[in-house]
């Protein structure tokens, strides 16, 4: 009798996310069929999350060299020289798919992972930032996601003891089924000491230290981060890792001690794909092989199979290469920190990764085939039909006060105090400028120097024009840093896009990278690290193309840092720069006009660079009382935010009050310094638009009481979370 509704089992390689062609390529590289263990390892290392199959051919467009760069892309994090014998490590990464499935742990382990990337470079983490995206907060589910992600970020960072200095959050329908959680970390290290992940020295030992290994996180890299979401996504909850921030703190201190004592030959954290990724990358980086005995790996669960041990993404684990003569000292240090440390293998010749379990070899793979052998796909590029060739025409805005009330109460523009008050902003005693302004500023003790850090992006504007939106993301992040008086020095980025196998997403990805690269070149900013998160979509509906850009800038003296709030009655208000602005893609267009359409203006990159130099030089000469970039919400919202932050009113002319664009900043200065500012500006447009004072925000003759504006601005996000907004 024939079977009814019989289902043919899916071949293993397809179940693991590999195509038929990729399996054939593996067979060619090995000269034989892979066994199941080897196939599982290939599936993770060749996943989009680890192998960058579609994005790597495009990423080479980014400029990555510059006078400050000590370490560019290729290691756990980028490193730049900031003077006085100090260096800064910086990196941003995504934990989007895990956070959509389990928001608290997804966000928490995202923070844990980016911290490990930083101290794996030998740097002490000193600041965290986060960039978040959710659907419209009109449903219980979206509010739950938002609240749990914020709680997860705060939980891990607060427990570990690293200050959270800023970030951003947006709510858009495009992120309804696929939230974005990007975490950035910055760390401090001596410029003379760089740590590499590349394994060296045949006969040296591979030491695994940190938490025990379990089944949490198995398949996270390939299952969650390399495909879209569907109705089965809830079943993927076991793939989300579980974090232990207290172990994370011990791991930081133990690792930095081991490096300070010169006990480690190389170091790598265990993140996506676990031991499979860390061991293959270490071996490939040093041009050597590794023998790994999986039977020696400390486990917290019984009966784990060899492939489970190899690909587990359990958190708070590090791998180090240690010379045999230094092993006892390493074990002793780890024991003092109450951390397990176990020799699980050794460095070999020949470039082969061999895995053993209970005396049997379970896998034998040339490391180059894992790390550099992944196929590279040229993305198809189909220009989306929605893209407009020119901006829309709008009637002039007449109700400035009413529009300002609406925008200040928007979840996308309202005060983020509800978020950052859950984060420890002062731990470490280095914070010079807290969250709430343009960029966080942290002192680099024991130097007088400081760094300013910003993390920015705008998916809606990039959706309207990917190239211009990519350039604008770089401009805004760098402009935020410049507004503190710092000189932008380097970029890290996270590229959040949909399925790159579709032509429209391929076009968005390629064009955004081109725009970002043009901006980086014009502003003299090398891209030293980054991350790519693709397949962010739900049933074929992609998120907005969302490049998130982190910028670090350098201040010669922390005392020079400029804040966003107006400082005193009688100071003059000036508009620096004269970049093109439009309502296309603006918050005003979305909220008041009820649409997102048109084409955003192109950033003037030469003028943008001129503005950044002006702001830094003006701060160095102590000519600025405040500085705040004109961005979301346009000039009207910028003026209002500076007034609310300074708790003092302002009277100003406000042409095109809600138009958004690049290349502008609102500054305030004493009357006696205006002439010097004008001389310093040179070709940069600089015009007086108002005066600080009073108890209202008066824009082109229309007044909004400062107390009312502050009440709207501060209450909107808490009301949104509670479902009463």
- Give dist(CA 224, CA 272) in Å, integer: 11
Q: Could you tell me how far CA 394 lies from the centroid of its own chain? A: 35
Nearest C-alpha neighbor of 264 from the set 345, 192, 336, 319: 319
Q: Could you tell me how far CA 589 lies from the centroid of its own chain? A: 27
Choosing from 13, 54, 68, 95, the catalytic residue is 95
- Give dist(CA 196, CA 75) in Å, integer: 7
The answer to whether the CB of 104 falls within 8 A of the CB of 155 is: yes
- Token pair, residue 633, equals 């919400």
Query: Could you tell me which residues come within 8 angstroms of residue 174 by beta carbon, excluding any fewer than 6 positions away?
Result: 135, 459, 460, 463, 542, 543, 544
Do the strands 205-210 and 340-348 form a parallel or antiparallel pair, or are they unpaired? antiparallel
- Give dist(CA 511, CA 507) in Å, integer: 6
Q: Could you tell me how far CA 260 lies from the centroid of its own chain? A: 28
Q: Give catalytic status of residue 155 as yes or no.
A: no
* Cα 212 to Cα 105, 414, 662, distances in angstroms: 18, 43, 49
Label each residue of 562-597 as H, E or C.
CCCCCCCCCCEEEEECCCCEECCCCHHHHHCCCCCC
- Token pair, residue 661, equals 């664009």
The answer to whether the CB of 79 falls within 8 A of the CB of 87 is: yes
Task: Using the structure block, give the residue that is written with the tokens 């389990």.
Answer: 102
- Give dist(CA 409, CA 518) in Å, integer: 35
The answer to whether the CB of 553 falls within 8 A of the CB of 423 is: no
**CA dihedral of residues 158, 161, 166, 168 (deg, nearest 10):** -40
Residue 93 β-bridge partners:
183
User: How does 418-450 read in b/e, with b if 16+ C-beta sit within 10 Å?
Assistant: bbbebbbbebbebbbbbbbbbbbbbbbeebebb
Question: If 0-12 CB within 10 Å is exposed, 13-18 middle and 19+ buried, where does residue 329 land?
Answer: middle
Instruction: For residue 517, give the 3-state DSSP assignment.
Output: helix
- Give dist(CA 429, CA 449) in Å, integer: 14
Helices (H) and strands (E) in the chain, counts: 23, 30
The answer to whether the CB of 91 falls within 8 A of the CB of 125 is: no
Nearest C-alpha neighbor of 472 from the set 664, 661, 666, 665: 661
The answer to whether the CB of 307 falls within 8 A of the CB of 218 is: no
Instruction: For residue 209, give the 3-state DSSP assignment.
Output: strand
Secondary element (H or E) of residue 345? strand 340-348
Q: Give catalytic status of residue 95 as yes or no.
A: yes
Do the strands 450-456 and 440-443 form a parallel or antiparallel pair, or are they unpaired? antiparallel
Active site residues: 49, 95
């Amino acid at each position: 009798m024939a079977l009814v509704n019989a289902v043919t089992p899916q071949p293993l390689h397809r179940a693991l996310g590999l195509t038929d062609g990729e399996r054939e390529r593996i067979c060619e590289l090995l000269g034989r069929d892979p066994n199941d263990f080897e196939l599982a390892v290939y599936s993770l290392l060749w996943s989009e999350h680890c192998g960058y199959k579609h994005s790597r051919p495009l990423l080479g467009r980014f400029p990555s060299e510059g006078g400050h760069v000590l370490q560019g892309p290729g290691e756990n994090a980028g490193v730049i020289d900031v003077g006085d014998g100090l260096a800064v490590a910086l990196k941003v990464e995504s934990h989007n798919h895990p956070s959509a499935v389990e928001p608290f742990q997804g966000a928490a382990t995202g923070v844990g992972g980016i911290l490990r990337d930083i101290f794996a470079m030998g740097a002490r983490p000193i600041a965290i930032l986060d960039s978040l995206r959710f659907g419209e907060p009109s449903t219980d589910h979206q509010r739950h996601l938002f609240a749990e992600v914020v709680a997860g970020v705060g939980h891990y960072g607060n427990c570990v003891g690293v200050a959270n200095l800023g970030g951003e959050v947006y709510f858009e329908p495009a992120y309804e089924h696929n939230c974005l959680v990007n975490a950035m970390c910055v760390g401090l290290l001596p410029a003379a000491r760089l740590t590499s992940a590349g394994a060296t020295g045949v006969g040296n030992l591979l030491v695994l230290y940190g938490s025990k290994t379990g089944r949490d996180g198995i398949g996270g890299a390939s299952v969650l981060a390399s495909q879209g979401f569907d109705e089965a996504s809830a079943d993927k909850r076991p793939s989300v890792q579980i974090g232990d921030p207290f172990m994370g703190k011990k791991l930081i201190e133990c690792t930095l001690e081991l490096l300070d004592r010169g006990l480690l030959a190389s170091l790598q954290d265990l993140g996506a794909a676990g031991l499979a990724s860390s061991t293959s990358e270490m071996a490939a980086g040093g041009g050597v092989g590794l023998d790994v005995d999986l039977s020696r790996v400390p486990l917290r669960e019984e009966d784990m199979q060899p492939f489970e041990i190899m690909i587990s993404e359990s958190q708070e684990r590090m791998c180090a290469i240690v010379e045999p003569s230094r092993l006892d000292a390493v074990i002793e240090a780890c024991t003092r920190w109450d951390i397990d440390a176990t020799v699980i293998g050794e460095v070999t010749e020949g470039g082969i990764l061999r895995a053993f379990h209970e005396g049997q070899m379970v896998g034998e793979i040339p490391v180059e085939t894992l790390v550099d052998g992944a196929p590279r796909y040229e993305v198809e590029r189909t220009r989306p039909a929605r893209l407009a060739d020119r901006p829309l025409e709008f009637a002039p805005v007449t109700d400035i006060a009413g529009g300002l009330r609406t925008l200040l109460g928007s979840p996308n523009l309202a005060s983020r105090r509800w978020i950052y008050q859950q984060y420890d902003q002062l731990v470490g005693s280095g914070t010079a400028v807290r969250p709430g302004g343009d960029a966080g500023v942290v002192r680099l003790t024991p130097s007088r120097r400081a760094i300013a850090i910003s993390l920015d992006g705008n998916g809606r504007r990039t959706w309207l024009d990917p190239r211009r939106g990519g350039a604008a993301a770089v401009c805004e992040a760098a402009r935020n840093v410049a507004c503190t008086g710092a000189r932008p020095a380097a970029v890290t980025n996270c590229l959040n896009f949909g399925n790159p196998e579709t032509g429209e997403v391929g076009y968005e990805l390629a064009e955004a990278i081109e725009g970002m690269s043009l901006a980086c070149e014009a502003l003299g900013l090398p891209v030293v690290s980054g991350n790519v998160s693709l397949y962010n979509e739900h049933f074929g509906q992609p998120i907005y193309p969302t490049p998130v850009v982190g910028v670090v800038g350098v201040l010669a003296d922390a005392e020079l840092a400029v804040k966003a709030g107006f400082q005193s009655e009688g100071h003059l208000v000036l508009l620096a720069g004269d970049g093109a602005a439009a309502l296309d893609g603006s918050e005003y267009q979305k909220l008041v006009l009820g649409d997102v359409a048109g084409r955003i203006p192109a950033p003037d990159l030469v003028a943008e660079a001129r503005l950044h130099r002006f702001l830094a030089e003006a701060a160095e000469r102590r000519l600025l009382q405040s500085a705040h970039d004109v961005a979301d919400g346009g000039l009207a919202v910028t003026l209002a935010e500076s007034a609310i932050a300074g708790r003092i009113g302002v009277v100003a002319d406000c042409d095109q009050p809600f138009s958004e664009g690049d290349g502008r900043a609102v500054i305030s200065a004493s009357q006696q310094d205006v002439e010097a500012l004008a001389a310093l500006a040179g070709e940069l447009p600089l015009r007086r638009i108002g005066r600080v004072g009073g108890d209202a925000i008066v824009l082109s003759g229309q007044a909004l009481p400062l107390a009312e504006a502050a009440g709207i601005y501060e209450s909107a996000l808490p009301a949104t979370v509670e479902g009463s907004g």
